[in-house]
């Protein structure tokens, strides 16, 4: 049983394309996080959302609490965006999706 489902699992895009990664969850949550795991393994936090929408540079994250769904958008994708993007939901504890592996080709 997966509390957090991400789609797609793998994504290849041409540089400049608009990218969307989706996250659906089945548990009650207080907050949702988007993380980025670099090819070398390091993990950094991109966003924490409890409602609405957040934007940071070319990254936009949205959440719909009623539908238990979040999306991460990357505008004007670049090869340096190539990484694994992980959705995490937090209620009493954190649950993580298995990640979306993104490759952006020049």
Partner 1 sequence: NAGVTQTPKFQVLKTGQSMTLQCAQDMNHEYMSWYRQDPGMGLRLIHYSVGAGITDQGEVPNGYNVSRSTTEDFPLRLLSAAPSQTSVYFCASSPVGVFGKLFFGSGTQLSVL
The binding site for partner 1 (CB under 8 A) comprises 4, 29-31, 33, 35, 41-45, 48, 50, 86, 88, 90-91, 93-99
39 or 106: CB nearest partner 1: 39
13 or 47: CB nearest partner 1: 47
Q: How far is the CB of 28 from partner 1 (least distance, A)?
A: 12
Q: How far is the CB of 80 from partner 1 (least distance, A)?
A: 19
Q: How far is the CB of 36 from partner 1 (least distance, A)?
A: 10
Write a three-state SS string for 9-62. CEEEEECCCCEEEEEEECCCCCEEEEEEECCCCCEEEEEEECCEEEEECCEEEE
40 or 106: CB nearest partner 1: 40
Task: Give the C-alpha distances (Å, rounded to integers) separating 77 from 1, 41, 57, 83.
Answer: 33, 21, 11, 12
């Amino acid at each position: 049983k997966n509390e957090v489902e991400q789609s797609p699992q793998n994504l290849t895009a041409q540089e400049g394309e608009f990218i969307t990664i989706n996250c659906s969850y089945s548990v009650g949550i207080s907050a949702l996080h988007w993380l980025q795991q670099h090819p070398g393994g390091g993990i950094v936090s991109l966003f924490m959302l409890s409602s609405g929408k957040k934007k940071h540079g070319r990254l936009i994250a949205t959440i719909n609490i009623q539908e238990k769904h979040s999306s991460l958008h990357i505008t004007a994708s670049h090869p340096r965006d190539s990484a694994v993007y992980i959705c995490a939901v937090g209620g009493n504890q954190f649950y993580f999706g298995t990640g979306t592996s993104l490759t952006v080709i020049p």
